Amino acid sequence: MENKKGKVYIVGAGPGDPELISVKGLKALKKADCVLYDFLSSPALLKYVKTGAKKICVGKANGLHLKEQGDINELLYKYSQVYRYVVRLKGGDPFVFSRGFEEARYLAEKRVKCEVIPGITSAIAGPESFGIPLTIKNKIQSFAVLTGRKENPNAEIDAPDCRTLVYVMGVANIKNIVKALRKRGRPDKTPCAFIERATTRKARIVTATIKTIAREVVRQKVKPPAILIVGEVVKYAKK
């Protein structure tokens, strides 16, 4: 039997531009009595939260965690017992390299009503905002979204045989990504690009090739949040 108390919405805030949240996500945000948000969700969205609602930054970005995942799960549960509507606002899409699934599962185990509202992931919006398609009909027929972070020091970076690869969280580990791409036979001249702070006023693209990208990251001081796109599609980037 479901809990009769509050309901938790796990909402994707979109990649950065506050207008890229869904209509459904915005509706949930407007009626929320309590909002738990992280650094990647656009701060401009908080202006839609009603007066008097509780706003808590549980900040997770660039390795800085204000709260551990277990604490966030518990807070969601705790507030679902106090408030009618709780929103967990997460950058991009809540299930793409985020912990939305763990949060939803935890709440389900506790029999808390929960709804996941998808968001536009930076992995797709980032390239698109610079005119880069991830697929092109009859030409580029596959893409993969990967993490550029190693879960442990011995873990290997994945570099599957897809025409377009998109890495999130790849800035710090760019040398290992390049190593993985070469190991899987990608030619050094393959175009690639980092897109920093996509869909915000500070958005920037740094284009290079597999051979030069690690050097360009240092030279042009690329900083997270940024995504790496690898493949011929990078040629379509508008400057």
Ligand X SMILES: C[S@@+](CC[C@H](N)C(=O)[O-])C[C@H]1O[C@@H](n2cnc3c(N)ncnc32)[C@H](O)[C@@H]1O
Q: Show which residues are catalytic.
A: 38, 60, 169
For the bound state, the minimum distance from the C-beta of residue 84 to ligand X, rounded and expressed in Å, comes to 26
Q: Which of 6, 25, 92, 231 binds ligand X (CB under 6 A)?
A: 92
For the bound state, the minimum distance from the C-beta of residue 184 to ligand X, rounded and expressed in Å, comes to 21
Q: Which of 122, 164, 173, 207 binds ligand X (CB under 6 A)?
A: 122
Q: Which of 98, 164, 173, 207 binds ligand X (CB under 6 A)?
A: 98
CA separation for the pair 73, 80 (Å, rounded): 11
CA separation for the pair 215, 124 (Å, rounded): 25
Tell which residue, 24, 23, 26, 31, has the closest CA to residue 7. 31
Query: Can residue 42 be called a binding residue for ligand X (CB under 6 A)?
Result: no
Give the tokens for residue 154.
Answer: 């011995």
Query: Can residue 197 be called a binding residue for ligand X (CB under 6 A)?
Result: yes
Q: Which residues are CB-contacts of 210 (< 8 A; sequence separation ≥ 6)?
A: 178, 181, 182, 186, 187, 188, 189, 190, 192, 230
Q: Which helix (H) or strand (E) holds 213?
A: helix 213-219
Q: Which of 77, 97, 106, 130 binds ligand X (CB under 6 A)?
A: 97
Query: Can residue 133 be called a binding residue for ligand X (CB under 6 A)?
Result: no
**Which is closer to ligand X, CB of 32 or CB of 168?**
168
